Amino acid sequence: MPAKPDMFTFAAIGDLHVKEDRTSLFRDLFAEISTKAEVLVLCGDLTDVGKPREAEVLAEDLRVCSIPVIGVLGNHDYESGQAEDVEKILKAAGMHLLNGQSYEANGVAFVGVKGFIGGFGRRMLASFGETVVKSFVAESVGEAMRLENAMRAVRNERAVVVLHYAPVVDTVEGEPPFLGSSRLGETIDRFKVSAVVHGHAHHGRYQGRTSRGAPVYNVALQVEKPSSRPYALIKV
Ligand SMILES: [Fe+2]
Ligand SMILES: [Fe+2]
């Protein structure tokens, strides 16, 4: 079927895990993506252990991008307790880092949160018992609420949700079923969403769907994609 003339193509990739001694690793890839897509979306774990120097290495590579770059942080970007510095460096390089906000490109709203773990369906962890378990679940619920609030503000016909953690179990198949949370999927299903992209599940599966049918793509670098490239090309 021919693509609708107003269709929009974005590239998405997660889990770059940039290390401080691996400079220029993604420069050619970003240049290639700039010729194939209208927006580049990065789905977290941008750095390997969340060091500002790693963010600087990535920021340097991002300078070759001639299209808008949008993204969220992942758990690895928090590892060194310097996520704020990582964020500052990437924002200074022109990246639109989302944490409960949206960014509009060519009429499409990209809505981003990191998300959190918590499990799926009937195996989802419940807020019961010890305080530490309750705090853990509260974090998971909080991320879903942050996504909900951001989605409520969207007025665009097309919206793309950008996450680090998976909102459905389909795309984490082959991994422990703990790498995301159904709470994110349930929130997505309350809105009209054209596509969802996430990372984190390095050994998961590329494609899945929410209960109400929104397409979900695991775009972690390590996951095989139909594009046969390390990034996904998605039309909405
Ligand atoms: Fe990762
Ligand atoms: Fe991760």
User: For ligand 1, a single-atom ion, which residues have Cβ within 5 Å?
Assistant: 15, 45
Distance 189 CA to ligand 2 centre (A): 23
Distance 152 CA to ligand 2 centre (A): 26
What would the mean pLDDT of 214-232 be, rounded to a whole number?
Answer: 96
Residue 95 has pLDDT above 70, yes or no: yes
Ligand number nearest CA of 16 is 1
Encoding tokens for residue 36?
A: 């194939």
Could you identify the residue written with the tokens 């600087």?
56
Distance 99 CA to ligand 2 centre (A): 16
Report the C-alpha gap between 217 and 195 in whole angstroms.
8
Q: What are phi and psi of 207, to 5 degrees?
A: -125, 145
pTM above 0.75, yes or no: yes
pLDDT of residue 2: 54
Ligand number nearest CA of 17 is 1
What would the mean pLDDT of 36-45 be, rounded to a whole number?
Answer: 98
pLDDT in tens, 6-38: 899 999 999 999 999 988 899 999 999 999 999
Q: What are phi and psi of 170, to 5 degrees?
A: -50, -45
Say if residues 160 and 195 touch (Cβ distance below 8 Å).
yes
Looking at per-residue pLDDT, the higher value among 173 and 197 belongs to 197
What would the mean pLDDT of 224-232 be, rounded to a whole number?
Answer: 95
pLDDT of residue 6: 80
Report the C-alpha gap between 206 and 13 in whole angstroms.
11
Residue 3 has pLDDT above 60, yes or no: no
pLDDT in tens, 138-191: 999 999 999 999 999 999 999 999 999 999 999 998 777 678 999 999 999 999
Encoding tokens for residue 201?
A: 């599940």
CA nearest neighbour of 163 among 211, 125, 210, 213: 210
pLDDT of residue 176: 74
CA nearest neighbour of 23 among 44, 49, 53: 53
pLDDT of residue 173: 83
pLDDT in tens, 108-151: 999 999 999 999 998 899 999 999 999 999 999 999 999 999 99
Looking at per-residue pLDDT, the higher value among 67 and 121 belongs to 67
Ligand number nearest CA of 73 is 2
Distance 216 CA to ligand 1 centre (A): 17
What would the mean pLDDT of 80-102 be, rounded to a whole number?
Answer: 98
Terminal-to-terminal C-alpha distance of the chain: 14
